[in-house]
């Protein structure tokens, strides 16, 4: 991947990390001029947002204050890791669950 490709996909990659709506916008932005850098970060961000929403729905059944703190810390740390990777033009997976997002979300082109 060359610098020009990264530069073209950087805006889409950053938008993907801005809420789940941003991830959907990034998916549509990357439809026609397919960019590998944008696709990578869109998958990472989409997976992070879905993981957070899924665990939040699970925790909403039984309220446990410490579990919620853990979920938010987990989400914020991984979100910053991915977002800073997009800002610094790096194609680095989110620790632990990032490689799974690349396998699971292959429909994101």
17 falls in which pLDDT band (50, 70, 90)?
very high
What tens digit of pLDDT does each residue of 22-34 get?
999 988 988 888 8
Q: Is residue 74 part of a domain?
A: yes
Q: Is residue 90 part of a domain?
A: yes
User: In this structure, which long-range contacts are made by residues 98-103, counting pairs with CB atoms below 8 Å and at least 24 apart in sequence?
Assistant: 98/44, 98/47, 100/47, 101/43, 101/44, 101/46, 101/47, 101/48, 102/40, 102/43, 102/44
Q: Is residue 32 part of a domain?
A: yes
Question: Considering just the CA atoms, what is the radius of gyration of the chain in Å?
Answer: 14
Q: Is residue 100 part of a domain?
A: yes
Q: What total number of domains does the chain contain? A: 1
What tens digit of pLDDT does each residue of 41-80 get?
999 999 999 999 999 998 888 778 898 999 999 999 999 9
Cα–Cα distance, 31 to 50 (Å, whole number):
21
What tens digit of pLDDT does each residue of 95-104 get?
888 889 888 9
Q: Is residue 68 part of a domain?
A: yes
Q: Is residue 109 part of a domain?
A: no
Owning domain of residue 93? 3-104
Cβ-based neighbour number of residue 11 at 10 Å: 14
Cα–Cα distance, 65 to 24 (Å, whole number):
30
């Amino acid at each position: 991947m060359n610098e020009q490709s990264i530069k073209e996909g950087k805006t889409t990659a950053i938008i993907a990390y801005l809420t789940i709506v941003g991830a959907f916008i990034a998916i549509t932005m990357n439809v026609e001029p397919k960019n590998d850098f944008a696709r990578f970060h869109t998958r990472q961000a989409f997976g992070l947002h879905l993981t957070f929403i899924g665990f939040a729905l699970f925790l909403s059944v039984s309220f446990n204050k410490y579990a919620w703190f853990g979920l938010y810390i987990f989400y914020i740390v991984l979100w910053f890791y991915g977002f800073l990777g997009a800002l610094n033009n790096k194609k680095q997976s989110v620790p632990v669950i990032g490689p799974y997002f690349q396998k699971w979300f292959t429909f994101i082109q």
